[in-house]
Amino acid sequence: PRFVWLDCDPGHDDATAILLAVHSPGIQLLGISTVHGNADAENTNNNAARCLHAFNAPKDIRVCPGATKPLLRPARHDPEIHGIDGLGGVIGLPSVQSAEVRERLDAHGAPIRALEGMAEAIRTTWKQGVGNKVTVVSSGPMTNIALFVSVYPDLLDGIDEFVFMGGGVGLGNRSPSAEFNILCDPEAAQIVLDIPVKKTMIPLNVTHTAIVRDDIMRRLLSSSTAASSTVLPAADSKLRHMLFTLIGFFADSYKSTFGFIDGPPLHDALTIAYVAQPELFTCKRYRVDVELNGVHTAGETVVDVCSYRQCDDSWGRSGKNCIVAEALNVQGFFNLFLDCVARCDVV
Ligand code: BDR
Ligand code: CA
């Protein structure tokens, strides 16, 4: 399997990334860390634990709280898209007070912090089989990852790939040119883009093709898609009903804020889909940097599509440092998503 660590800020689409991380064939989720972003860090942390329980994740998967603010800038959140607590409008998620959710938050009485959790997962994986490495996935601002690579540079050898949802090629969503995750902490993103580790970016250009249209909503409720042997009517499936309300709220936000009338894009789920089924994506390798100072363009990902800069083969500061996803097999992606729902439904 691919061993995966997920750093996220749930968030409606982060929740779908968690679902895929728990139920995609070929992926073994080692743990989750959380970061400020769509909501404040306390809420994103609680939400990750609530999702793990709702998605029947193995009990030993914990949530490790991370940075509460960006490296240099004040924290910004996105209540317009995700509600005040990050998972607005979702009906049927377990409460943060429930024993099972608390268990994931306070392992052995106290939480394990994000950097320690990641470090332990990488060390343990390496020891379990010589050469076993961890794929680190990020679906929020990159503050935790930048801190991790600064504090534990010796553990970079234990990471086989870093995959992130963020940025755009000439496209923004929280400014004319910047995407939310990068805009929240551009300095962190640049630190991570400079590390000598293979990296893959899933930008807005591709995530905006993964639109949950009515036919997908119907398949979500019909439960006849499946890998599942039991066919449940929608009303009997709490999970499907919960996901229906989750995507419904996200759809309303995307309609009122961005004018997306066909449905919302499941941005973050694509990171895990990429790890599970890379053949669903068409990609190309480029030099990618982040604009840190622009008056109008701070947080923009600058992708050197015309190979203007002289770059070597390294993944670090002097190289073509990042693989960039350019197209998605949309039908294949939604088949994977609905298969994960079906697998989760019969656990
Ligand atoms: C990204 O920002 C957040 O709103 C989403 O969770 C996603 O990670 C999209 O720009
Ligand atoms: Ca996110």
Q: Which residues pair with 4 in a beta bridge?
A: 29, 135
Q: Which helix (H) or strand (E) holds 283?
A: strand 281-286
Q: Give me the pLDDT at residue 346, please.
A: 84
Q: Give me the pLDDT at residue 347, please.
A: 66
- 14 in contact with ligand 1, CB cutoff 6 A: yes
Q: Any catalytic annotation for residue 82? A: no
Cα separation, 110 vs 133, whole angstroms: 27
- 180 in contact with ligand 1, CB cutoff 6 A: yes
Cα separation, 48 vs 97, whole angstroms: 14
Provide the mean pLDDT of the chain: 95
Confidence of residue 227 (pLDDT cuts 50, 70, 90): very low
- 39 in contact with ligand 1, CB cutoff 6 A: no
**Distance set, CA 37 to CA 5, 64, 119, 299 (Å):** 18, 15, 22, 14
Is the pLDDT at 234 greater than 80? The verdict is no
Region for 223 from its dihedrals, namely left if φ exceeds 0, alpha if ψ lies in -120 to 50, beta otherwise: left
Cα angle: 7, vertex 148, 106; to 5 degrees: 55
Ligand 2 centre from 6 Cα, in Å?
Answer: 11
Q: Give the number of the atom of ligand 1 that is nearest the alpha carbon of residue 265.
A: 9
Q: Which helix (H) or strand (E) holds 317?
A: none
Q: Which of 82-91, 220-229, 277-286 has the lowest mean pLDDT?
A: 220-229
- 345 in contact with ligand 1, CB cutoff 6 A: no
Q: Give the number of the atom of ligand 1 that is nearest the alpha carbon of residue 268.
A: 8
Ligand 1 centre from 267 Cα, in Å?
Answer: 6
Question: Would you state the structure tokens that stand for residue 40, as one six-digit string?
Answer: 């404040």
Confidence of residue 223 (pLDDT cuts 50, 70, 90): low
Ligand 2 centre from 313 Cα, in Å?
Answer: 30
- Write down the catalytic residue from 108, 241, 267, 296: 267
Q: Give me the pLDDT at residue 59, please.
A: 94
Buried b (16+ CB within 10 A) or exposed e, 146-169: bbbbeebeebeebbbbbbbbbbbb
- 267 in contact with ligand 1, CB cutoff 6 A: yes
Task: List % helix, strand, coil for the chain (3-state, nearest 5).
Answer: 40, 15, 40
- 78 in contact with ligand 1, CB cutoff 6 A: yes
Question: Would you state the structure tokens that stand for residue 218, as one six-digit string?
Answer: 């119907």
Q: Which helix (H) or strand (E) holds 327?
A: strand 322-328
Cα separation, 307 vs 223, whole angstroms: 47
Return residues with CB closer than 5 A to ligand 2 (ion): 9, 11, 14, 139-140, 268
Q: Which residues pair with 265 in a beta bridge?
A: 211
Residues 31, 55 contacting (CB under 8 angstroms): no
Cα separation, 61 vs 234, whole angstroms: 28
Residues 54, 87 contacting (CB under 8 angstroms): no
The pairs formed by 318-321 with CB atoms below 8 angstroms and a separation of 24 or more are 319/287, 320/285, 320/286, 320/287, 321/193, 321/194, 321/199, 321/287, 321/288
Is the pLDDT at 226 greater than 50? The verdict is no
Mean pLDDT of 275-293: 98
- 165 in contact with ligand 1, CB cutoff 6 A: yes
- 11 in contact with ligand 1, CB cutoff 6 A: yes
Q: Give me the pLDDT at residue 232, please.
A: 47
Q: Give the number of the atom of ligand 1 that is nearest the alpha carbon of residue 11.
A: 6
Question: Would you state the structure tokens that stand for residue 307, as one six-digit string?
Answer: 């190979």
Is the pLDDT at 85 greater than 90? The verdict is yes
Is the pLDDT at 228 greater than 50? The verdict is no
Proportion of the chain above pLDDT 70, given as a percent: 96
Cα angle: 78, vertex 146, 116; to 5 degrees: 100
Q: Give me the pLDDT at residue 110, please.
A: 87
Q: Considering just the CA atoms, what is the radius of gyration of the chain in Å? A: 19
Inter-helix orientation angle 114-128/143-151, to 10°: 60
Mutation probe of ligand 1 site: the residue of 139, 202, 209 with most atoms within 8 A of C-beta? 139
Which pLDDT tens digit goes with each residue over 25-58? 999 999 999 999 999 999 999 999 999 999 999 9
Cα angle: 54, vertex 235, 24; to 5 degrees: 40
Evaluate the omega torsion of the peptide bond into residue 158 and state whether it is cis, within 30 degrees of 0.
Answer: no
Q: What is the pTM of this model?
A: 0.96
Q: Give the number of the atom of ligand 1 that is nearest the alpha carbon of residue 140.
A: 8
Region for 109 from its dihedrals, namely left if φ exceeds 0, alpha if ψ lies in -120 to 50, beta otherwise: left
Ligand 1 centre from 54 Cα, in Å?
Answer: 21
Cα separation, 211 vs 21, whole angstroms: 19
Distance of CA 194 to the CA centre of its chain: 20
